[in-house]
Structure 1
Amino acid sequence: MNAEAPDASVETPADPGRIVLLTASHRVAPGLLSWPAWQTLHAADRVLCADPDQPQLPYLREAGVHVEHATPSADELVADCAGGRTVVVLTGGEGNAPLTDGLARLGGSGRTRMPDLELLPGSYDLPGARLLDLVQVMDRIRRSCPWTSQKTHRGLAKYAIEEAYELVEAIEDGDRTELREELGDVLLQVVFHARIAEEDPEEPFAIDDVAGGLVEKLIHRHPHVFGDETAETPEDVHAHWLRTKAIEKQRTSVTEGVPLGQPGLALAAKLASRVRTAELDVPLPTGDSIGYDLLALAVAAEANGTDPEAALRAAARAYRDAILAVEGA
């Protein structure tokens, strides 16, 4: 039995086409798009962009991609794709919420045959990309905020100490949410001071100089990672660090570089560590005050591998808990 011929009077639905939302991160240099993005751009029937200042546009024109400045509605975009056409909409990394919301409403209505919808990232943020946002935000705040614009290094110094203590507390509490927040607050101090430093009339520097100096230091002090030396144990690494640091600093005393403004127990332990590392025989000073007794305890703790400042803080926290228990009884 012969198969029936198809009814010519029945129309085959037209191909609804394809909409490609092409995103590109503003944190990546313009023009550095992925290969799938370039392929899609060259093959598209239309490429649309609502922002005439989109940083990708000069590079697309140079590559022979014609981009139209247009802001179509969801209905207009769907209609433009009819017949199997591909329309690319170029957006920033944040996307185009009004357009995607409109397309979602159309698709959800069930009354419109929707084209295929594809989200194509043209470039991806690298790890650390949000640091660029932080620098930009800090720059704007410094220029526009009445409080921030007047701050100096000296005026901010106390905040750096406060934030460092709050970070230590978050670490000791084991609170991951607080830890992340306090790390951000410490980072703010770094970025804030670096932004202020840009304005110094005699010796300006910027956050890139700070980061660049740190990178060089880390590479230089890790020759077992970036060079030809070897280190099998943490003790080997520590020895490398001390050796390279001594060459860099060319200090005439082991006390150089020890901040005297740090807490007393920490200061005593740091001095003791320097003396022990340098293998110096320095008798402890004696006196009648409790300070000398605390000094001896701090030196003994450091020699045994205990951080006296952290140990006393832990004991003080236990004392705080005991106080709260009595108050709550």
Structure 2
Amino acid sequence: MNADATDAPAAPGRLVLLTTSHRVAPGLLSWPAWQTLRAADRVLCADDAHPQLPYLREAGIAVEAAVPGARELVGFCRAGDRTAVVITSTDGDTELTDGLARMAGSGRETMPDLELLPGSYDLPGARLLDLVQIMDRIRRECPWSGVRTHEDLAKYGIEEMYELVEAIEEGDRETLREELGDVLLQVVFHARIAQDDPDEPFSVDDVAGTIVEKLINRHPHLFGADEAHTPEDVKAHWLRTKADEKRRTSVTEGIPLGQPALALAGKLASRARTAGIDAVPAGEGVGYELLGLAVRAEAAGTDPETALRAAARTYRDAIRSAEEAAAGSGG
């Protein structure tokens, strides 16, 4: 008998844990995943409702509807250098993975090659699908959220935007991320409410589709034949396209009057300046003085609302310093 053959150690085999993303359409697996599945001696999945199973079976891959324990799987792989693929379920198959970890950590077991193979990867923005799904469940099952209306939520949208602005002004990145999420929630919540409208329903997909079309239409230098080489060119494209879309008879149309007065003055001044209109009214009193300041600030390239907010924050800090000084002196 050949000594080399008898003394050679048994091949370890291969045990693959195949993960997939529920945010990617079933059947869209990576090429390494398909190669591994087709070459495997055994494919298993504990979740008989796993969305990948119909597509695997359609591709001629037999999938066992149960996953044995860690020791049995290890024994199968070690016997004859065989490959077993476990398609992991949403709960992560912790019993199997814990068992494998114990065996590998004991130092007394000859383990097959263990591999974690991602079968699909999330695309950018994929977590938005989670948000839509969660919002849908909340809308259906939560006693409070299930009866909210657009009117009920209007004040929260304003509050969240102010909190977002404050996070930007503070330069707090963690808070900025959180506040962006709160603003995004308002969009998804309103879209889900709109979906229930009996007369004119629309969904978050309709909302996204509308803004996608608008962005494409207003960037003809990217998605069309036009050219734009400077920020000024882009802005000119945007304004022309927007004017064509809205068919407005006045540059003041579309400016919300409910916004803070200084921001409103700055927006009116911007529209008027762009259109070449000089129509600042003359009048007496602090209101007209503030209006004049806002118009001059906008013409100089300064947003009056932002400038006053920055000054007001400095004013707030000065007040706090004065309070601390007074408290320290016992006054």
Q: Which amino acid in the other structure matches residue 284 of structure 1? A: P
Contact 1:48–1:68 (8 Å) recurs in 2: yes
1:85 to 1:137, Cα distance in 2 relative to 1, 3 A: same
* Match in the other structure for 1:148: 145
Q: CA deviation at 1:322?
A: 1.0
Matched, 1:38 2:46: no
* Match in the other structure for 1:294: 290
Listed one character per residue, the Cα deviations across residues 66-118 of structure 1 (whole Å, up to 9, x for unaligned) are 00011322112111212211000001477433322221111010111111001
Q: CA deviation at 1:281?
A: 2.8
Listed one character per residue, the Cα deviations across residues 147-191 of structure 1 (whole Å, up to 9, x for unaligned) are 111111000000000000111111111111001000000000000
Structure 1 residues 136-285: aligned runs within 5 Å = 136-285=133-282
Q: Secondary structure at the match of 1:65?
A: coil
Q: Secondary structure at the match of 1:120?
A: strand
Give TM-score scaled by structure 1 length: 0.95
State the alpha-carbon separation in 2 of the partners of residues 204 and 58 from structure 1. Answer: 33
Q: CA deviation at 1:36?
A: 1.2
* Match in the other structure for 1:318: 314
Q: CA deviation at 1:228?
A: 0.9
Q: Which amino acid in the other structure matches residue 294 of structure 2? A: A
State the alpha-carbon separation in 1 of the partners of residues 19 and 4 from structure 2. Answer: 43
State the alpha-carbon separation in 2 of the partners of residues 81 and 218 from structure 1. Answer: 54
RMSD after superposition: 1.6
State the alpha-carbon separation in 1 of the partners of residues 261 and 4 from structure 2. Answer: 95
Give TM-score scaled by structure 2 length: 0.94
Listed one character per residue, the Cα deviations across residues 117-141 of structure 1 (whole Å, up to 9, x for unaligned) are 0111111110000000000000001
* Match in the other structure for 2:82: 85
Q: Which amino acid in the other structure matches residue 286 of structure 2? A: I
State the alpha-carbon separation in 1 of the partners of residues 280 and 86 from structure 2. Answer: 75
* Match in the other structure for 1:17: 13
Listed one character per residue, the Cα deviations across residues 30-75 of structure 1 (whole Å, up to 9, x for unaligned) are 1111111111111111000000000111111111100001132211
Give unpaired runs (5+ residues) of structure 2: 326-331
Listed one character per residue, the Cα deviations across residues 174-213 of structure 1 (whole Å, up to 9, x for unaligned) are 1110010000000000000000000111110000000000
Percent identity for Structure 1 against Structure 2: 72
* Match in the other structure for 1:49: 45
State the alpha-carbon separation in 1 of the partners of residues 5 and 266 from structure 2. Answer: 93
Contact 2:15–2:83 (8 Å) recurs in 1: yes
Q: CA deviation at 1:8?
A: 8.1
Q: How many residue pairs were aligned?
A: 324
Listed one character per residue, the Cα deviations across residues 255-306 of structure 1 (whole Å, up to 9, x for unaligned) are 110000000000001011111111123132413x311111111111111111
State the alpha-carbon separation in 2 of the partners of residues 290 and 68 from structure 1. Answer: 80
State the alpha-carbon separation in 2 of the partners of residues 113 and 30 from structure 1. Answer: 35
Contact 1:269–1:299 (8 Å) recurs in 2: yes
State the alpha-carbon separation in 1 of the partners of residues 219 and 90 from structure 2. Answer: 37
Q: Which amino acid in the other structure matches residue 127 of structure 2? A: R
State the alpha-carbon separation in 1 of the partners of residues 30 and 5 from structure 2. Answer: 45
State the alpha-carbon separation in 2 of the partners of residues 229 and 52 from structure 1. Answer: 53
1:272 to 1:111, Cα distance in 2 relative to 1, 3 A: same
Q: CA deviation at 1:7?
A: 5.4
1:9 to 1:162, Cα distance in 2 relative to 1, 3 A: closer
Matched, 1:307 2:267: no
